[in-house]
Chains A and B, each alone.
Chain A
């Protein structure tokens, strides 16, 4: 009997339950699909070991966050429905039904809706996850070789557990609502004139102004200070605190903005008498004001969530893009091997980390560079060769053209003050040091120095003309792009001199070629700044060696994959000079490895950014949608009155549209403004790695988000218009 009643209720209250059902279904769908991403990665044929696990564990953490967002959404949707059903539950009690049974009916209703939503959600989720596989594959730039239908038990269990928790949560909330509410309130909920929480408009305006000021100051602080990432270690704590203050300011400011918004809007429009007293404007504004008062908090939350979504997506994808675009420049050769020298400053540091300690005795600071090509040999340590018997591998087996690039520090052996630093250069030009540099390695270590012959050899290998560098000339190179290159180019173009070991040098050209500036293969650039000088000069200067890199292209006609495989697992023999170790082997990087990694990184970042962003945007839109629909339902009496006093439907619909546009667009505008600023600062920061462009995929992704948001807006409006129409048409019964 109770079951029947509950089922009937769900069917009858269909429209109200529809919103709840849709929200719940959407939640389940997204939740399930999101948790299958690691499985999708598998299916998409991204076979790199570990990636699926990395993905899985990252997503695992995000799942908690997602569950939080979904829980908020569902509790919200549930409150919406409870508000509508209060009177009915009151009626049951008036008719003599005990509270226990009313609670049972309600629980049954929740069960019915939850089960339906769960089943529908899982079905849609399974469908969505199949589709997403293709999307994921495209993000990782792979083809799906053998696509097959898949179902993730793990994701299913996770979703089920989550749903159960939420179900219990909403049930408890509802029971509490029934228990606590007085019968008279349940019954009379509709009839009475709603008391409007009016705020003194002047106070509201003051709060609004405070919000604007706070946000403005926070913007200013952010532009001035940037993100704390660039701060030096000593100042990091303080910078973090400052950044914390800025964050707090923008958060408080945003909420204040929405808190005072209604009062401000009313005062503003009332001052425009001709506008206020015209058509339904007055009604629209008042209606907004009444609601803005009660929903200012959620509008603030939505603005902040949208801000997060837009920023994370744009930022993540742009960084990934930059990395991808510059990959060719970062990896000029098939393979590179770096050797790092011990300097008097770093020797002790290295010594601490070697074991056994007699090894430390062999370590000496390097006073000259070594030839890496003859020293590059060792044993193959891949799985099928054990360490002892591994076959000998020599770089000569695969090497075709090759070059060694030596990087010296810009001070003589035994000294420790760099003579060429970006900040010094900025000072000479009378410019501000780009923010990205403050306290960075490039500044404390100073620029590297490299002989011209090596630089030109690399250029030749890459098919470029050599650059002539005279005895009294210098050339600045850098492969990181962005602000760094701009700085060096400007310095050379300005004809500024460099002083190196007492020699004053003039620029050899006015522009350096970024594309031949790498000193090793890398993911994000290897050369933050190098002074290329004539070989004879360099040998006179007696500079401190820092590192050498062997850049190798494979022999003509050699299969890259095979060559990679043959040297990839080499355990290099110690490089000894007169029985002493002047340094240690550093990174070994093949070009193809970098390309794969970049594609995966790109895929990973994009995937996360898009899914997080999408979930946030959809959650925001859903909350707004529920709010608006409940507003319209609450206001149906008002719309009927308007129709009765002769307001035509078109005007009423316009008013509804205007109200909803404000609710949807205002948080979006604030979120966009925040993002715009944050991105401006981020771009400035990231520009050390090259010019970050927001376009292409990012633009497309944002367009999809906006379409989703706009779609929600449109659906909400259409549903509202239908509700208003129904309210107007409701006959005045006797």
Chain B
């Protein structure tokens, strides 16, 4: 707890609620969720299907709007932002990685990665060097001129990661990034994210229902029925041991725990 206070908070979520539906037919997807993520943390959000974890990520990433509560990213309250400002905010502060890589089919890897920069009107020379840099870090330099359909799922996911990273965002949002990958590709992607987090102090927020993926993070929030059930910090333990602790919590979460594997 001490360390949390000393580090700068990047994301502060307070009393977040999200309600779907109208009167009489209300689904409370998020119910009074509060937590903080510090700069340089690699945070995992775990939960079964329907627990509200993706809703949480969507609210935090400004793709969806919250019903009540506040979400501060770098001190700015994103729940109060106007639409136009939100686009700019997403562009400058956030990077996204999705389960299906969401690359644009018609663009090459290089162009996909460059897209956030061209949108932000960075000059072409700089775009070129930054794309090369980030591609080298994620070891995808050799596929830069291929189209998404010419790449493996793992490569697509890493290109998507590169696209998320190329703007140097305050925070990277990953929604089940390993969901569609085979285990080897998943491991490669998780190692890349871990390395990014370690070496470049990038803040990563990853939603997953896979305990193995979660074990790469430094801090896991468990969500059940729209509420934070508990949280785990890795501290100095190694990944293997952290994985066991996660498994214990998953088991403890009961019924749904089984499909959280």
Contact = CB atoms under 8 A, between A and B. Distances in A.
B127 interface: yes
Nearest to A646: B91
A352 interface: no
Interface in A259-312: 273-274, 276-283, 286-287, 289-290
A194 interface: yes
Interface residues of A, number: 36
A413 B227 CA distance: 117
B205 interface: no
Nearest to B131: A277
A561 interface: no
Given A273-B124, A278-B121, A281-B118, A734 B106 contact: no
Contacts of B100: 191
A732 interface: yes
B158 interface: no
B104 A734 contact: no
Interface string B14-47: 0000000000000000000000000000000000
Interface in B84-106: 84, 87-92, 94, 96, 100, 102-106
Interface in A137-155: none
A638 B29 CA distance: 27
Nearest to A733: B54
A647 B91 contact: yes
Contacts of A647: 87, 91, 119
The list of the 7 closest CB pairs from A to B, nearest first, reads: A646-B91, A646-B90, A648-B87, A277-B124, A286-B106, A290-B106, A195-B149
17 contacts: A193-B149, A193-B156, A195-B147, A196-B149, A277-B114, A277-B118, A277-B127, A279-B118, A279-B121, A286-B106, A289-B106, A642-B115, A644-B63, A644-B102, A645-B119, A647-B119, A732-B64
A232 interface: no
A286 B107 CA distance: 6
B90 A645 contact: yes
B146 to A, nearest CB: 10
A193 B118 contact: no
Contacts of A191: 100
Nearest to A641: B102
A195 B151 CA distance: 11
A645 B105 contact: no
Contacts of B103: 193, 641
Given A286-B106, A641-B104, 5 more contacts: A273-B124, A276-B124, A277-B128, A637-B102, A641-B102
A289 B104 CA distance: 13
A534 interface: no
Given A279-B121, A282-B114, A646-B90, A638 B105 contact: yes
A198 interface: yes
Contacts of B92: 646
Contacts of A282: 107, 111, 114-115, 118
A517 B117 CA distance: 75
B84 A648 contact: yes
Contact of B124 (A278, A637, A649, A732): A278
A646 B88 contact: yes
A205 to B, nearest CB: 18
Interface in A613-659: 637-638, 641-649, 651
Contact of A278 (B104, B118, B163): B118
Interface of A: 191-196, 198, 273-274, 276-283, 286-287, 289-290, 637-638, 641-649, 651, 731-732, 734
Interface residues of B, number: 44
Given A196-B149, A644-B96, A732-B54, A649 B87 contact: yes
B209 to A, nearest CB: 11
A445 to B, nearest CB: 66
Contacts of B111: 282-283, 286
Nearest to B108: A286
A471 B124 CA distance: 85
A646 B119 contact: yes
B55 A645 contact: no
Nearest to A637: B102
B162 to A, nearest CB: 12
B163 A194 contact: no
A289 B116 CA distance: 21
Contacts of A274: 123-124
Contact of B91 (A194, A276, A645): A645
Contacts of B128: 277
Nearest to B29: A734
B104 A283 contact: yes
B148 interface: yes
Contacts of A280: 118-119
A196 B119 contact: no
Q: Which of A642, A645, A648 has the most CB of B within 10 A?
A: A645
B230 interface: no
Contacts of B127: 277
A334 B114 CA distance: 80
A289 B106 CA distance: 8
B151 to A, nearest CB: 9
Nearest to B163: A645
Interface string B52-67: 0011001001011000
A269 to B, nearest CB: 12
B49 interface: yes
Nearest to B151: A193
A289 B111 CA distance: 14
